[in-house]
Structure 1
């Protein structure tokens, strides 16, 4: 159970894999993988290692990197965040399209380096190191020499003084324990020992953290007799797939490990993707260390002895981390303790100002002039593009992480489609071949305008699309006199693997702008909710069930608009998006 002296794992909830952490002064900074999504490489900040806030992205400009056309789960892999000589450094892999095992003349895995004075940015344009591999990390030794570590195993490459070029041949200093997929190499030096860490076993069930040490950077390395230092061996535990970690020490020399994990959502289906968890590290008398005392990932754990941010008390962090207030039980939760019910939280975005909230991400770099904030009435305007949800080239798909198995999401939408191919609405999405959409569109009947307005519920399972339901709007809600002057509210209710969809009029006494319609909807001025349909079993929205292409992310929920190839840049105005757990 949870108490004010404890916290719940994961601390970063929803799709946030491959964490890398660094302490600078009294602050901790953390970066995670973002793959094809833009802006890329989210950066989080915390004072207590539990409550995290998003402060920016390392890649947020088109001139830094264009991810358009990048296949699902390609793009940015496994960032490594560090701080040296007054600057933040970030190494990562850019995974390009193409199959593994292609001719070596075509490099599909490039390493990239960026720097910044502040973690919030701006970050430099990436400099590329064209050496094949994944999961690069930076190690700076006591003599100032800099090295890049790269998989497979721990390969060591000397770097130039500015840390942007490899200056010599690489060598493998530790190949790992013999388990499959030795990756995620990290190096830590403490008390004259070099500790090499690896993630092994593949980033699924059976993932683990192993370590070896040496008195010399170049080796030889002896393996820890307690390996694996972290691995989930209980198939019924709430946290699975644990591995790919990094250690960080506090100013008081208290040590912690951040690592990725996955929460099964009914069976072995981690719908939310891989998330970031935190567990304590203890150094042993023989110079090794343990993670959570060797008990595996913890669901509930004692809080670090660090100042807790005042804003965190009793709430949910902006990044999805959960506060401890409201729980009960003794501090220092056992590793097999069941997690409490999901924390209650609500986020409402009416899209004020000119910039999006940092929780949002585009499927890839958005096209120029394809979206804007509605300066007059408030809200977000998406201009429908030719590509739809079943294409990696979709122009307007804006998403945020699902953070819990149970939640509700709603949006207020004004949209006047003229063709059955034109649609805008709400979507749950893990990739171009697996999604569920609830949209406002037109019925196909051969008339010049494509028939009456409809609410359409569609699912796509590994590329096979099925229309589940299609309801005529005007027949269901006579309050609709003019869809250009009012709108609809769409809602999804998620309970485990079941997803229900509803709609209602967002009519608020003739509200003619996005903000007014959104306020009316929030205040209950719309009509009663009407059921659209349901997806009783949405396991196809988990990476384990994606059969088309790669799937290293998690399910996201958000907004989209497409003309389906008509060429008309139809305007969809979203007055509000709300997410409630």
Structure 2
């Protein structure tokens, strides 16, 4: 009998004997990422649950690969006594717990600031447009896009960007002297560009914008951030370890050359630097170890902005050291003090499937931060990312309207590169989208609107008129190298899969009888994607395929793959196609209570 079977099926005495007399790895997980404590909760035995938490110190908030913790299981199964025990043991209020990631879907490389009692965050957008989403929250958990750093396609420079290029690792900051907000990011060009990397800076009088025309700082490196110091000077930091340059008062140019100020703690792929002043010290945070399994956040400090910097003795201040943990590749963070004086850290992470892929790409999570007696910030609860934490604030959160290239059906719609605004209209609750005759594999293609995939399991539907030529419908999309199309045209229904540089699968079906409108549905569940059409009130599944690995960063070696899966609408052809409806429902397993 395995330890998991023992925790689930055996009595307390057998479990105790297994723990105390057999040589086992009690941090081991099963194929779904469950711990022994998950199994004990499923057994319904409070005695076994208490034994594993009291004497083996298993964590009630350790999530499996679906993000479900032992506490979640107890709440979902109505095991009130066990749930109360675990909540008390973990120090959380089960009515106020929240789950990481808080910004779900492709929202990597977070940076944030506080403005009064409001919080603003920016994330990388790569080659998608509008560029660099700006999100707002009142509680650090519920985020809504309220603006973008670049909304003018003439300023964006992404029209010919390859997938995975464009805007990397933005930072948002505030200068109290000029009373302006600044967003900076690396503009990553294509390999054949004369300047493959430079830094972009925009400014605005409000955090959500509108932001003015970008300035371009011609310094190589990635992951810039800006410190507006108390003496009125401004500094930009970027990688190759951590380098820094002083900026002009308007932050649109460098006043002198960049120079090294910190080599990092791990001294391997030190990037994503953030600098702040606190209690007489300059505190420097940086991501290290690369964006894979070794990702982490390290800290240093100095009394002088130019250093030398002293390494934090508790480094890394946040790292996932459990290879089977729910949140992986955790790093690239920034500190923030809330209006009531607490400290939090935002950071990027992955939710990885058992097959090693992470369909949603890199997402944003948060961690509570404590300060050590000798003055160092560290992520609370052992410097490890936690899937569950207490809701930071309890007040009612106002509903915000998302902003995108166009607002329709409450979604934040974006596009790959820049969509000509003449190619879409929204009128009387319907959206008309026009293509330019090119397919999704062409970087000049028009006729594509997308939303970020937020969960592994989802259902997306649309209703549309049958186009006069070529096809239109639903797409599951990663970039120009990997997507699928579930569409309809004058020749019938189509399911086409494109991966690498070619169509790898194509299936067709006849048109529905005597109709000019259709409703299409794609459902992702249990490792499959199902494609259905509605006939009257009934749905008919036409095709089912295994979950496409090519829609993940890890599933295809082709170009730079740093983003995440998308779902949306497409038109292949020069027709103007009217979409009458859209809905997307994301299935979040850890919140099914």
Q: State the TM-score bracket (shorter-chain normalisation).
A: 0.7 to 0.9
Alignment of 1:241-256 (within 5 A): 241-256=329-344
Structure 2 unpaired stretches of 5+: 1-70, 73-93, 587-593
Q: 2:191 aligns with which of 93, 98, 105?
A: 98
Residues 114 and 120 in structure 2, CA contact (< 8 A), matched pair in contact too: yes
Q: Secondary structure at the match of 1:540?
A: helix
Shift of 1:437: 1.1
CA distance in 1, matches of 2:507, 2:485: 11
Shift of 1:417: 3.2
CA distance in 2, matches of 1:94, 1:276: 21
Q: Tell me, yes or no, if structure 1 residue 360 matches structure 2 residue 451.
A: no
Residues 298 and 315 in structure 2, CA contact (< 8 A), matched pair in contact too: yes
Structure 1 stretches of at least 4 aligned residues deviating more than 4 Å after TM superposition: 317-320, 353-358
Residues 15 and 554 in structure 1, CA contact (< 8 A), matched pair in contact too: yes
Structure-2 change in CA distance of 1:57 and 1:416 (3 Å)? same
Q: 2:372 aligns with which of 280, 284, 299?
A: 284
Shift of 1:107: 1.6
Residue by residue over 1:274-311, the C-alpha shift from the partner in whole angstroms, topping out at 9 and shown as x without a partner, is 0000110001111112112334111001122x353345
Q: Secondary structure at the match of 2:541?
A: strand
Alignment of 1:30-429 (within 5 A): 30-85=121-176, 86-98=179-191, 106-304=194-392, 306-311=393-398, 359-373=412-426, 375=427, 377-418=428-469, 422-429=470-477
Q: 2:572 aligns with which of 552, 562, 566?
A: 562
Q: Tell me, yes or no, if structure 1 residue 455 matches structure 2 residue 493.
A: yes
CA distance in 1, matches of 2:185, 2:545: 37
Structure 1 unpaired stretches of 5+: 321-348, 443-452, 506-525, 564-568
Q: Which moved more, 1:385-394 or 1:143-152?
A: 385-394
Residue by residue over 1:200-252, the C-alpha shift from the partner in whole angstroms, topping out at 9 and shown as x without a partner, is 11112221101111121111111112111111111211111100000000122
Shift of 1:10: 0.4
CA distance in 2, matches of 1:179, 1:13: 30
Residue by residue over 1:333-371, the C-alpha shift from the partner in whole angstroms, topping out at 9 and shown as x without a partner, is xxxxxxxxxxxxxxxx9x9x9878561101111125222
CA distance in 1, matches of 2:307, 2:526: 48
CA distance in 1, matches of 2:245, 2:401: 38
Shift of 1:63: 3.1
Q: TM-score, normalised by structure 2?
A: 0.80
Q: Tell me, yes or no, if structure 1 residue 571 matches structure 2 residue 581.
A: no
Shift of 1:37: 0.6
CA distance in 2, matches of 1:472, 1:236: 46
Q: Secondary structure at the match of 1:63?
A: helix
Residues 52 and 318 in structure 1, CA contact (< 8 A), matched pair in contact too: no
Residue by residue over 1:419-447, the C-alpha shift from the partner in whole angstroms, topping out at 9 and shown as x without a partner, is xxx111101111111111101024xxxxx
Q: Secondary structure at the match of 2:381?
A: helix
Alignment correspondent of 1:346: none
CA distance in 2, matches of 1:389, 1:536: 21
Aligned residue pairs total: 493
Q: Point out the structure with the larger helix share.
A: 2
CA distance in 2, matches of 1:319, 1:268: 32
Q: TM-score, normalised by structure 1?
A: 0.81
CA distance in 1, matches of 2:267, 2:259: 20
CA distance in 2, matches of 1:30, 1:389: 30
CA distance in 2, matches of 1:286, 1:457: 61
The alignment yields a C-alpha RMSD, in angstroms, of 2.1
Q: Secondary structure at the match of 2:156?
A: coil
Shift of 1:173: 0.4
Shift of 1:5: 2.1
Q: Tell me, yes or no, if structure 1 residue 431 matches structure 2 residue 479.
A: yes
CA distance in 1, matches of 2:114, 2:294: 29
Structure-2 change in CA distance of 1:497 and 1:431 (3 Å)? farther
